[in-house]
Amino acid sequence: MKKFFKFAVGLAMSCLFMIATPLAFANTTDDYNRKVSEAQAKINDLENQLNAAQASLDSWTNSSNEQAELINSAQTAATEAEQALDAALSNYELKRADYDAWYVQVQAAEEIVVEAIADVNAAADVVDSTYDNYLVAQANADNAEAEMNTAQVNYDTQLINVGGGGTTPGLVVDVYVGISQYGNPPSRSDIVYTKCKTVTVDNIEANWGSGSIFGCGGDFVMLHYRGYITYPTTTKVYFQAQADDGFYMKINGQQVINDWSLKGCGANSTGMFSFTGGKSYAIDAWFYEWGGGACSTLYYQPQNGQWGVAPASFFTQDAAATWVKDPAKKAILDEKTATYVSAVAVEEQKYDTYINAENSYDGEWLTYLALSGDLASKRTTLLQLETVMDNSESEWQFRVDDKAVKDADLRDLKVQYASTFAGIQSAVNLVDELEAQLAQAKIDLQNIPKPSAKDKRKPKKVTNRPMADGAYMPREIFFPAPK
């Protein structure tokens, strides 16, 4: 339409020029034909250039259209990338707010745990201090106990003699015979049976087998041991008698052994007596032999000691020297005992203080464990939020990078489009210029002077052509017309 408009305008101007300008005529036909041919050749060349310029313009236009579509697509992609970036940024800010809020909680929990650790350490210091005090008190109590025990041993063993001096060793033994007349076991009596004799022995230790017992026969014999027993220290002593047959013993009127029955040489009874060191106690022991073998041996075992035969040093026929505990040693013992009791009271007080410190420490430790568990839980949540933050930051970075790529693509396309638009403008200018030249060439073609031969022309001779006279004209063929 643009080319048609330009052509119409050019043609109208050419016609006006022709109307306004008198026609010029060439000198000769050859000159006219040459000029027309040159003008037509110029027109053809301009038309070819115009067609080529138009084709170039069309190409630039098509390229512009394609680039416009690409720009539209790139613009859409850039807009979408910007929207996605805005969404990623908004999501990041939300996630960051959650993270920051939870981080504040973690920091608060960490501060609480630090305080709890300080409380635990302080409680541990108190435990250490109170335990050290307890150890000192314990050591003081142990030392006081050792001194008290030493004083007790001294009081029990370092006796003083307040009279007496029996020195006749051994025991008096009354030997009775014919004990079977009143049945088994015999009565322990000095008047029921016949006395064979009275003898003395160093200690109670004999094994007669089937032989005679002190020359009074080997069967149905009973012995009555009398005298005193003295133990050197204050302690408890266990006794048993290996006898065939029966054995019975009292010390200081207290029954110690009751093994008064028929049996082989052995012991079925064990007893205990508490001695005061150096003090003499009356001993009253009985033995009987019914028949067969005969033995009678007294064994002793001091507390925490070993069994052995009671030695002759234990026995005297009368009371030994009377040894009693020293009142001065008792005063020292009382003093050491009071010191020990006081030290034990201090130890107990220090122990109670230590136990309270332990309980306080346990409470602080449990509190620390609970707070540590809460902190660990919060840190776990924070780590999860860290992962969320990593994802949101990666998404945000991706969207930033993606938008940058999309913006760069759009800028590149716009730069290309600007280059294309410059090409279009250049092509349009060229087409306009060629169209103007073509229009002018056509006008020039119209304005080429026509050849003139007016003076050389000879008028055609007028000739007449006669018609034959009487010629008959045939009738026209009839075609009936419908009514």
Residue 52 covered by a domain = no
Per-residue confidence (pLDDT) for residue 16, from 0 to 100: 40
Residue 324 has pLDDT above 80, yes or no: no
Distances in whole angstroms, Cα of residue 248 to Cα of each of 213, 256, 326:
18, 8, 35
Q: What is the 3-state secondary structure (H, E, C) of 141-192?
A: HHHHHHHHHHHHHHHHHCCEEEECCCCCECEEEEEEECHHHHCCCCCCCCCC
Does residue 279 sit within a domain? yes
Q: How far apart are CA 92 and CA 52, in angstroms?
A: 58
**Residue 350 and residue 133 in contact, taking contact as beta carbons nearer than 8 Å:** yes
Question: What tens digit of pLDDT does each residue of 225-240 get?
Answer: 999 999 988 999 999 9
> Is 237 contained in some domain?
yes
Q: Which two tokens stand for residue 30?
A: 């050859």
Q: Is the pLDDT assigned to residue 163 strictly greater than 80?
A: no
Q: What total number of domains does the chain contain?
A: 1
Mean pLDDT in residue range 252-273 = 94
Residue 13 domain flag? no
pLDDT in tens, 432-450: 998 899 899 889 889 988 8
| Domain-located, residue 273 | yes
Write the DSSP assignment of 101-149 as a string of letters: HHHHHHHHHHHHHHHHHHHHHHHHHHHHHHHHHHHHHHHHHHHHHHHHH
CATH number of the domain encompassing residue 284: 2.60.120.1560
Q: Is residue 262 part of a domain?
A: yes
Residue 467, pLDDT score:
59
* Domain-embedded: residue 306: yes
The helix/strand/coil state of 414 is helix
- Quickly state the pLDDT bin for 470 (edges 50, 70, 90): low
CA distance 245 to 257: 14
From the list 83, 106, 107, 87, the residue with the least C-alpha distance to 95 is: 87
Q: What is the average pLDDT across 209-234? A: 94
**Dist CA 380 CA 254 (whole Å):** 80
Across-strand partners of 308?
300
Q: Residue 290's domain spans which residues?
A: 160-325
More confidently predicted of 152 and 23: 152
- Kindly tell me if the per-residue pLDDT of 8 is higher than 60: no
| Tally of CB atoms within 10 A around 419 | 12
Report percent pLDDT > 70 for the chain.
86
Instruction: Provide the pLDDT for residue 9.
Output: 38
Evaluate whether residue 12 is within a structural domain: no
Q: What is the pLDDT of residues 31-87, one digit of tens each?
A: 889 999 998 998 999 889 989 988 988 998 898 888 888 889 988 998 998 899 899
Span 91-96, average pLDDT: 89
Ordered DSSP codes for 208-255:
EETS-STTS-SSSEEEEEEEEEE-SSSEEEEEEEEEESEEEEEETTEE
